């Protein structure tokens, strides 16, 4: 079942009304990622304000999810002695059948889910349609099932929850962000039709008639055909009768010629009268009504099989599209808080951080991969126009909840905001407001030197080729043109000359395009104080203690979850030594970072505590984790530079491949999140190189689709390679190459439709002539009817098997995107080879391969389609 966005508060309000002191605690299963972490924080804040007890259980993969189902969810079932309850899946389980993995299977012995209601809030796509349109809590016993009525539940219409739905009976409920209602209409119809169909076994000896061969229909029929009886032939009842062995009984004949002649005349007159009685005049009121002949059982069976195959093909096509990301779940949960009237600055900030974190981890509408940078500047983010629409809504919320201050400090801050000065401190010691800021594509700009911030920026480093000496010289020339000395840019940004900080944005807008950095900073705001400010970022102040942007917080949270301990002086991580801010030396770098999987849960709680909503504590733990974030991105730059400069990236048939198996940071990249960020950095650099070599880019300035990348990191402790496959980009814009392919498919489709129409007309003409001949010979009309049905169904099934690309776009706005299909390709390789592979991550493009099997795994993978 799915909950439409218009009813997003329906379930929560019912939980609030039905809650009492003896109610079981709400169980929250959350993924270890910044977006899910922020969404969990928003939901737990709502639950705390309403005094609803809850329990949080972090899960890192399907193994943890299955154990949580066995140890935590199953005991909640009333059939297991529990009292039911609510389970909330945050960024968990949207791609799999949760009733199976959580142990909530509905069978004949347990015809319900034991009062357990599962709320699924996930941004990953494609949905598991069993959760979306199924997930019913009850199954009627077979003896009580009415075959003439589809299985329904009060308040649920074909999987959609209505306002009359009463929660509390259990089931799986998916929170719709709008995609299901707008894009999955065809899949909904196919799934519900398959659910309502009776079971039909496929008969290998029976053809569905799609080949158009209708002359052999009678030979394939298993039962003998019966001759139709003429209406009105009462005097000659023996003519249409049959004997006991099924053969037609012959008419009696007289020995006299006169009797034969008179009998023949009598039968002719009888036949003429019979024919006239069967074709009465329209004006005759007493004309008998002849009911149309009902289709035979065989015809109905073949129709049902064709319809079943058609619906199954729709679902198969949906699942084969590849993975993608929809609206961030932190934004969706903030919508819930807004519907409840609970929105405030704290919850708004959590939603902003969750939305901003998606680009850092490469989660776009085309799956895990690089996203195309908006030439207008600012954060490209995820989702193209839809993503920018959500960010614009967040900007409007910032203006609504943070009105301008009339004080002198407020007016000064407003002038700085209008002129594009990056804020570094609050307006007063008690200022906790959220501001709009023209954030450049730098990394930790306020907490690093300007040089390091620009050097470690994935956007800037890939376009300047900073892994080469020439690239670093280009960066130095950029500073020289802007009039910033190297001594100034090596200082911490907050210690730079104030005049340089005031003119930094203006000079970047002037000189950045010279080096191909048009999107380095967002454009100037149009409309003054209440302008659009497209591409601008978000900043929050904690008085004079700290000033952090949403991207800074996302970087720090990611480092905590991926690199190790929050506190650099923690005894759990004695090898880590923090480095001083503002230096670019690596001689005092830590030798290793704790990446043991046993510490994953502790990392989650460290990140969760760092998002504390208490103003006196919130920035403290985030600031303590800054050295950890800086170390992670230094390691990404070092390792990526090594791979590119040593030419360790090979180009296979359908993707590029690189392996990290040596170096000081190899231990760090055994974590899938850190390895994914390294893969995104390398993929961005490779794509820029391909664009610079492309004649299309040089002549027309058009973008090209980058090559997908597979990056493997060696984990010596477990003797496995962690493998991640990233898409080649192009998920948020249209491409000329894709448009050309769609045009070619359209022309090919038109030619096929023309040929099919000619073939159908020829078959229809043949069928009409055949039916006319059979009518004259007084033969069976059922075969002709079935032949026509087969031919028409053949043409319709042929057109359904090759859906037009435009039709797919009309049913789904994002289906034309180049999606990441590495998850599907990994599954195919596992099924066809003996490679020892472990697929446990919620990101299906991340797998673990035994060290000895990596070569064969990659060889087989090179023949697969990895983008679609």
pLDDT tens across 746-770, in order?
788 888 888 888 888 888 888 888 7
pTM: 0.78
State both tokens at 695. Answer: 């004649």
- Which pLDDT score is estimated for 681? 93
What is the 8-class DSSP label of residue 837? E
CA angle at residue 358 from 357 to 360, to 5 degrees?
A: 65
**What gap in Å lies between CA 391 and CA 352, rounded to an integer?**
8
State both tokens at 722. Answer: 């962690």
Which of helix, strand or coil describes residue 142? Answer: helix
Which of helix, strand or coil describes residue 435? Answer: strand
Longest dimension (CA), the chain: 131
State both tokens at 581. Answer: 């801010």
Residues 6+ apart with CB under 8 A from 225: 218, 780, 782, 783
Span between the terminal Cα atoms of the chain, in Å: 28
- Which pLDDT score is estimated for 409? 53
Give Cα 324 to chain centroid, integer Å: 4
Range list of H helices, 512-625: 550-563, 600-610, 618-624
CA dist list (Å): 467 to 425, 472, 487, 494, 521? 33, 8, 22, 27, 22
Residues 6+ apart with CB under 8 A from 364: 324, 325, 358, 370, 371, 382, 383, 727, 731, 732
Q: Say if CB 482 and CB 511 are below 8 A apart.
A: yes
Selection from 123, 113, 62, 59 nearest residue 86 by Cα: 113
pLDDT tens across 99-147, in order?
999 988 765 455 568 889 999 999 999 999 999 998 775 544 434 444 4
**What gap in Å lies between CA 807 and CA 378, rounded to an integer?**
34
- Which pLDDT score is estimated for 235? 40
What is the 8-class DSSP label of residue 23? S
| Look-up of token digits 């990659």 | 858
**What gap in Å lies between CA 301 and CA 311, rounded to an integer?**
15
Can you count the helices (H) and strands (E) in the chain?
30, 21
CA dist list (Å): 195 to 96, 158, 189, 811? 18, 10, 10, 21
- Which pLDDT score is estimated for 728? 65
| Look-up of token digits 């073939």 | 759
Selection from 188, 195, 196 nearest residue 315 by Cα: 188
Strands 171-175 and 650-651: unpaired
Q: Say if CB 423 and CB 417 are below 8 A apart.
A: yes
**What gap in Å lies between CA 838 and CA 62, rounded to an integer?**
11
- Burial, 393: exposed, middle or buried (Cβ in 10 Å; 0-12, 13-18, 19+)? middle
CA dist list (Å): 266 to 124, 257, 300? 79, 14, 41
Q: Say if CB 222 and CB 207 are below 8 A apart.
A: no
- Which pLDDT score is estimated for 35? 95
CB count within 10 Å of CB 7 equals: 17
Which of helix, strand or coil describes residue 775? Answer: helix
- Which pLDDT score is estimated for 867? 74
Q: Say if CB 5 and CB 176 are below 8 A apart.
A: yes
Q: Say if CB 154 and CB 166 are below 8 A apart.
A: yes
Residues 6+ apart with CB under 8 A from 625: 556, 559, 560, 566, 568, 606, 610
CA dist list (Å): 819 to 175, 317, 730, 866? 23, 13, 9, 8
- Burial, 856: exposed, middle or buried (Cβ in 10 Å; 0-12, 13-18, 19+)? middle
Q: Say if CB 368 and CB 845 are below 8 A apart.
A: yes
CB count within 10 Å of CB 151 equals: 15
* Residue ranges in the chain whose pLDDT is less than 70: 106-112, 137-153, 202-291, 371-384, 406-420, 524-532, 565-598, 614-617, 694-706, 728-742, 774-817, 868
């Amino acid at each position: 079942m799915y909950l439409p966005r218009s009813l997003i508060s329906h379930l929560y309000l019912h939980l609030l009304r039905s809650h009492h002191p003896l109610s079981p605690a709400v169980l929250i299963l959350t993924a270890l990622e910044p977006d899910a972490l922020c969404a969990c924080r928003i939901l737990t804040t709502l639950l705390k304000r309403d005094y609803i007890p809850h329990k949080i259980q972090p899960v890192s993969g399907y193994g943890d999810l299955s154990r949580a189902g066995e140890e935590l969810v199953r005991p909640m079932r009333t059939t297991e002695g529990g009292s039911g309850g609510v389970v909330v899946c945050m960024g968990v389980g949207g791609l799999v059948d949760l009733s199976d993995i959580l142990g909530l299977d509905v069978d004949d012995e347990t015809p319900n889910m034991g009062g357990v209601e599962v709320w699924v809030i996930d941004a990953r796509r494609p949905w598991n349609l069993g959760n979306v349109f199924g997930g019913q809590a009850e199954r009627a016993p077979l003896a009580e099932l009415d075959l003439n009525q589809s299985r329904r539940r009060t308040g649920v219409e074909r999987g959609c929850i209505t306002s009359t739905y009463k929660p509390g009976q259990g089931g799986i409920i998916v929170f719709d962000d709008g995609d299901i209602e707008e894009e999955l209409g065809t899949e909904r119809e196919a799934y519900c039709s398959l659910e309502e169909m009776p079971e039909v076994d496929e008969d290998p000896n029976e053809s569905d008639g799609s080949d158009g061969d209708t002359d052999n229909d009678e030979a394939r029929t298993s039962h003998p055909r019966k001759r139709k009886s003429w209406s009105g032939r009462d005097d000659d009842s023996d003519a249409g009768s049959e004997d006991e062995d099924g053969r037609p009984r012959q008419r009696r004949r007289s020995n006299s010629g006169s009797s034969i002649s008179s009998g023949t005349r009598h039968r002719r007159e009888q036949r003429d009268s019979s024919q006239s009685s069967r074709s009465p005049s329209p004006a005759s009121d007493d004309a008998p009504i002849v009911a149309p002949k009902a289709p035979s059982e065989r015809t109905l069976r073949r129709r049902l099989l064709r319809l079943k195959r058609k619906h199954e093909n729709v679902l198969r096509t949906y699942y084969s599209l590849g993975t993608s990301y929809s609206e961030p779940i932190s934004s969706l949960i903030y919508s819930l808080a807004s519907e409840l009237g609970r929105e405030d600055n704290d919850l708004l900030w959590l939603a902003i951080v969750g939305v901003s974190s998606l680009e850092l981890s490469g989660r776009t509408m085309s799956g895990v991969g690089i996203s195309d940078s908006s030439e207008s500047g600012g954060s490209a983010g995820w989702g193209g126009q839809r993503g920018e629409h959500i960010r614009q809504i967040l900007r409007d919320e910032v203006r609504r909840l943070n009105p301008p201050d009339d004080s002198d400090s407020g007016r000064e801050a407003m002038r700085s905001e209008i002129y594009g000065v990056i804020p570094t401190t609050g307006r007063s010691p008690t200022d906790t407001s959220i501001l709009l800021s023209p954030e450049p594509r730098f990394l930790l700009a306020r907490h690093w030197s300007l040089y390091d911030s620009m050097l470690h920026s994935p956007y800037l480093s890939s376009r300047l080729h900073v892994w080469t000496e020439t690239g670093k010289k280009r960066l130095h020339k950029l500073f020289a043109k802007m009039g910033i000395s190297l001594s100034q840019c090596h200082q911490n940004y907050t210690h730079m000359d104030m005049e340089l900080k005031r003119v930094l944005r203006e000079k970047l807008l002037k000189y950045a395009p010279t080096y191909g950095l048009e999107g380095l900073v967002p454009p100037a705001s149009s409309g003054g104080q209440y302008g659009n400010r497209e591409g601008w970022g978000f900043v929050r102040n904690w008085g004079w203690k700290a000033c952090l942007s949403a991207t800074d917080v996302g970087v720090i949270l990611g480092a905590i979850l991926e690199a190790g301990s929050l506190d650099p002086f923690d005894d759990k991580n004695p090898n880590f030594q923090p480095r001083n801010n503002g230096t670019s030396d690596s001689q005092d770098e830590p030798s290793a970072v704790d990446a043991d999987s046993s510490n994953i849960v502790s990392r989650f709680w460290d990140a969760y505590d760092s998002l504390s909503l208490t103003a006196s504590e919130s920035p403290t733990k985030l600031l303590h984790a800054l050295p950890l974030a800086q170390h992670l991105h230094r390691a990404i730059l070092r390792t990526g530079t090594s791979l590119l400069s040593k030419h360790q990236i090979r180009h296979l048939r359908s993707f590029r491949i690189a392996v990290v198996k040596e170096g000081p940071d190899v231990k760090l990249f055994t974590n899938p999140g850190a390895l994914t960020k390294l893969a995104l950095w390398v993929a961005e650099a490779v794509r820029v190189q391909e664009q610079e070599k492309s004649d299309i880019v040089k002549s027309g300035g058009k973008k090209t689709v980058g090559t997908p990348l597979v990056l493997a990191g060696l984990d010596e402790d477990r003797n496995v390679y962690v493998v991640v496959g990233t898409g080649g980009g192009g998920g948020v814009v249209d491409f000329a190459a894709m448009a050309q392919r769609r045009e070619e498919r359209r022309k090919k489709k038109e030619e096929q439709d023309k040929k099919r129409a000619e073939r159908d007309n020829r078959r229809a003409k043949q069928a009409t002539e055949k039916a006319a001949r059979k009518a004259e010979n007084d033969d069976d009309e059922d075969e002709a009817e079935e032949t026509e049905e087969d031919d028409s169904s053949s043409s319709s099934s042929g057109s359904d098997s090759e859906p037009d690309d435009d039709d797919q776009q009309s049913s789904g706005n994002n289906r034309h995107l180049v999606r990441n299909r590495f998850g599907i390709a990994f599954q195919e390789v596992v099924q066809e080879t003996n490679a020892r592979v472990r697929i446990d991550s919620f990101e299906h493009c991340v797998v673990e391969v035994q060290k000895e099997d990596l070569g064969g795994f990659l060889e087989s993978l090179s023949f697969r389609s990895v983008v679609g």
